[in-house]
């Protein structure tokens, strides 16, 4: 019934019935979350009470080394509910579990009558397999509206996914307000057209698109996510995938006399930031504003798909490579990203990068997001760097779920649900599912591609990889058990008003 599957679960006969007298003994933020999640559908007030006891839902922080940073123990019996965790983070996941234990109508946004709000009697111990359980949402290619971002956070928390990686900038749009450089959004946030159909068709829709988020809006989103135990990692993609920034500030590019437009086609722009001290200083200023808005320890500075032709043709860049003793102009990327990492370290932050940096001098201590295949996970580990497993082969949910021609337009590739569920990430910091949004212009499309695959990846991240057979396939019994719980989870999504692609089997 629970998804992700808990580490240990014993179901006993009996239940605890919630009613108007049920009260809550918990740290304020956790009690607030419980009410925020249960009261709209149940109508129950769930008032605070000072001590655990009969008829009380108690959620308490207790020293317990077995539970780690996010684990919890939960017991439901006819007298009440008692959950303990070593930190509030674990209690927040216990709240999500309690919600899943209730009838699925609890996910409705408004009051539901005639439902017995009963929790089955259970004993649960639940500790995540991986500390990083993420989901990337690309809001650069299409500026998804804030209400979608709020719903997205809700749904991540439902699946005990703890990190939203917001891809905020790219060639086709800059969505993060920077007070010091207002043109980044005023100019870089808007493009005159987007591809119609697939990029390879070479057609344009001729329709302007744009938008950006105010810092205040993002702060509110960050706070909302934090109440649910979801951290938001911003990504400012640098020094490539930065054409929108160069369109806004031509002096950031390699030919300051050239006025570029914000990108109107997908793919990889050949235009990248220059490596001049003034541009580096500007990027530092931008990151200063990023860390003000996003308190999470990690800041992602991109680094994927950076063409170097402009540097190779730029005498200043070539001279810098020589002066630094770098064998290749491409190695300038590692040197330059190292300067960003130092700057972020000065703010007490850690730097995250895409795996291309492994080939160009990844900054010491950077966390590598391995996307170009399973071997990139091994390469990051061999380099002694922490790694988040994000390979396209198992985690690129912008790929179609099947090869059925009726699938909505996808960027490339096919990634079936079973492949996701069979993913073996290995010894890594965690896993992350990617929703690049070139072909996800609407909320409907975002959900279609996200679910159910993100539910499968959430289970890999929380419950750990499932055993697979000699061919790497998920054994039928293991699959059937997951599928039956997935059916229950999809009913919860139905109630929450979140759509998804119906699973094939």
For residue 426, how many other CB atoms are within 10 A of its CB?
12
The distance of closest approach from Cβ of residue 258 to ligand ACM in the complex, given in angstroms and rounded to an integer, is 25
Query: What does the alpha-carbon distance between residue 148 and residue 153 come to, in Å, rounded to a whole number?
Result: 9
DSSP letters, 454-489, are HHHHHHHHHH-PPP--TTSPPPHHHHHHHHHHHHHH
**Which CB atom, from 157 or from 238, has the smaller least distance to ligand ACM?**
238
**Which CB atom, from 144 or from 167, has the smaller least distance to ligand ACM?**
167
Q: CB under 8 Å to 436, separation ≥6 — which residues?
A: 136, 138, 141, 167, 396, 398, 411
Tell me which H or E stretch contains 134: strand 132-138
Q: Look at residue 14 and give its three-state secondary structure.
A: strand
Candidates 165, 209, 241, 343; catalytic one: 241
Query: What does the alpha-carbon distance between residue 268 and residue 223 come to, in Å, rounded to a whole number?
Result: 33
Candidates 170, 171, 310, 438; catalytic one: 170
Q: Look at residue 137 and give its three-state secondary structure.
A: strand
The distance of closest approach from Cβ of residue 105 to ligand ACM in the complex, given in angstroms and rounded to an integer, is 39
Is 241 a residue of the active site? Answer: yes
The distance of closest approach from Cβ of residue 167 to ligand ACM in the complex, given in angstroms and rounded to an integer, is 9
Q: Look at residue 447 and give its three-state secondary structure.
A: helix
The distance of closest approach from Cβ of residue 460 to ligand ACM in the complex, given in angstroms and rounded to an integer, is 20
**Which CB atom, from 362 or from 493, has the smaller least distance to ligand ACM?**
362
The distance of closest approach from Cβ of residue 450 to ligand ACM in the complex, given in angstroms and rounded to an integer, is 16
Nearest one of 127, 378, 460 to 468, comparing CA atoms: 460
Is 305 a residue of the active site? Answer: yes
**Integer angstrom CA distances of residue 481 from 63, 246, 470, 488:** 33, 51, 20, 11
**Which CB atom, from 38 or from 370, has the smaller least distance to ligand ACM?**
370
Nearest residue to the partner ligand ACM, using Cβ: 304
Nearest one of 179, 205, 178 to 192, comparing CA atoms: 205
CA 16 to chain centre: 34
Q: Which of residues 265-304 bind ligand ACM (CB under 6 A)?
A: 304
**Which CB atom, from 309 or from 473, has the smaller least distance to ligand ACM?**
309
Long-range contacts of 256-263 (CB under 8 A, 24+ apart): 261/191, 261/192, 262/171, 262/172, 262/173, 262/174, 262/187, 262/188, 262/190, 262/191, 262/192, 263/170, 263/171, 263/172, 263/173, 263/191
Q: CB under 8 Å to 89, separation ≥6 — which residues?
A: 69, 70, 162, 229
The distance of closest approach from Cβ of residue 314 to ligand ACM in the complex, given in angstroms and rounded to an integer, is 23
**Which CB atom, from 371 or from 448, has the smaller least distance to ligand ACM?**
371
Residue 354 interacts with ligand ACM (CB under 6 A): yes or no: yes
Binding marks (x or -) toward ligand ACM, 357..386, rule CB under 6 A?
--------------x---------------
Binding residues with ligand ACM: total (CB under 6 A): 4
Residue found under tokens 């975002």: 446
Candidates 305, 331, 359, 407; catalytic one: 305
The distance of closest approach from Cβ of residue 304 to ligand ACM in the complex, given in angstroms and rounded to an integer, is 4
For residue 234, how many other CB atoms are within 10 A of its CB?
24
Query: What does the alpha-carbon distance between residue 22 and residue 2 come to, in Å, rounded to a whole number?
Result: 23
The distance of closest approach from Cβ of residue 370 to ligand ACM in the complex, given in angstroms and rounded to an integer, is 10
Is 170 a residue of the active site? Answer: yes
**Which CB atom, from 42 or from 367, has the smaller least distance to ligand ACM?**
367
Residue found under tokens 């009051």: 111
Query: What does the alpha-carbon distance between residue 89 and residue 481 come to, in Å, rounded to a whole number?
Result: 28
**Which CB atom, from 107 or from 371, has the smaller least distance to ligand ACM?**
371
The residues binding ligand ACM (CB under 6 A) are 304-305, 354, 371
Catalytic residues: 170, 241, 305
């Amino acid at each position: 019934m629970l998804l992700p599957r808990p580490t240990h679960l014993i179901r006993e006969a009996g239940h605890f019935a919630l009613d108007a007298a049920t009260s809550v003994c918990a740290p304020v933020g956790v009690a607030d979350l419980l009410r925020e999640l249960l009261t709209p559908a149940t109508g129950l007030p769930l008032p605070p009470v000072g001590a655990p006891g009969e008829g009380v839902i108690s959620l308490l922080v207790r020293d317990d080394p077995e539970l780690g940073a996010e684990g919890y123990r939960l017991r439901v019996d006819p007298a009440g509910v008692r959950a303990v965790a070593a930190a509030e983070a674990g209690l927040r996941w216990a709240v999500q579990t309690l919600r899943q234990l209730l009838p699925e109508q609890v996910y409705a946004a408004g009051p539901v009558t005639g439902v017995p709000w009963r929790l089955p009697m259970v004993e649960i111990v639940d500790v995540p397999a991986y500390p990083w359980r993420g989901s990337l949402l690309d809001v650069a290619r299409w500026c998804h509206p804030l209400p979608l971002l709020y719903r997205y956070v809700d749904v991540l928390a439902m699946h005990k996914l703890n990190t939203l990686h917001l891809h905020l900038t790219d060639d086709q749009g800059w969505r993060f307000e920077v007070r010091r450089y207002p043109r980044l959004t005023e100019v870089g946030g808007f493009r005159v057209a987007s591809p119609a159909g697939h990029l390879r068709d070479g057609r344009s829709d001729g329709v302007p698109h744009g938008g950006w988020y105010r810092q205040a809006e993002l702060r509110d989103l960050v706070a909302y996510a934090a109440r649910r135990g979801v951290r938001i990692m911003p990504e400012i993609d640098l020094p490539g995938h930065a054409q929108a920034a160069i369109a806004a500030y031509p002096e950031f590019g390699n030919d300051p006399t050239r006025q570029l437009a914000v990108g109107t086609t997908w793919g990889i722009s050949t235009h990248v930031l220059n490596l001049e001290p003034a541009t580096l200083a500007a990027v530092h200023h931008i990151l200063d504003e990023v860390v003000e808005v996003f308190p999470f320890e990690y800041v992602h500075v991109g680094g994927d798909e950076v063409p170097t032709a402009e540097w190779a043709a730029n005498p200043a860049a070539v001279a810098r490579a020589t002066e630094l003793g770098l064998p290749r102009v491409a190695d300038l990327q590692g040197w330059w990203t190292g300067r960003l990492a130092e700057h972020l370290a000065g703010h007490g932050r850690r730097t995250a990068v895409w795996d291309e940096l492994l080939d160009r001098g990844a900054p010491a201590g950077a966390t590598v997001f391995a996307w170009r295949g399973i071997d990139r996970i091994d390469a990051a580990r061999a380099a002694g760097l922490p790694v988040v497993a994000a390979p396209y082969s198992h985690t690129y949910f912008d790929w179609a779920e099947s090869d059925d021609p009726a699938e909505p337009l996808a960027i490339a590739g096919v990634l079936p649900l079973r492949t996701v569920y069979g993913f073996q990430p290995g010894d890594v910091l965690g896993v992350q599912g990617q929703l690049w949004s070139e072909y996800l212009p609407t909320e409907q499309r975002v959900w279609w591609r996200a679910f159910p695959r993100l539910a499968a990846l959430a289970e890999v991240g929380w419950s750990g990889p499932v055993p697979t057979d000699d061919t790497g396939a998920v054994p039928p019994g293991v699959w059937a058990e997951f599928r039956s719980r997935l059916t229950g989870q999809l009913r919860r999504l139905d109630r929450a008003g979140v759509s998804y692609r119906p699973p094939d089997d």
